[in-house]
Amino acid sequence: MTLLVAILHQTASFADQPASEATTEKSGNFGTTIFGEELLLPEGKKCRVFDITGRAVMPDRIGPGIYFIEFDGQIARKVVKTR
């Protein structure tokens, strides 16, 4: 429940930004990125995307859900795709 309240609070504070921009919330060692459109990954780094069950997925084919991004062999980011 606390996470949901934090996300809602953070989303409200970004009301003047376009809906397509991702928001970030710090959660432990991960910075959670919430996005609704395309997942943009940095160029020049080896990146892999995993779903919540640990399966590798193609970044351009992800649906709404929770994913983890691996950069150069280390899980470095948690992302949440919304509808």
What string of pLDDT tens digits covers the 83 residues of the chain? 333 333 333 433 333 334 444 554 444 455 788 999 988 888 888 899 999 999 999 998 899 999 999 998 898 899 999 98
Give me the pLDDT at residue 4, please.
36
* 28 DSSP assignment: T
Give me the pLDDT at residue 58, please.
94
* Closest alpha carbon to 22 in 3, 37, 9, 6: 37
Instruction: Please answer whether residues 29 and 68 qualify as being in contact, where contact means their C-beta atoms are separated by less than 8 angstroms.
Output: no
Give me the pLDDT at residue 65, please.
96
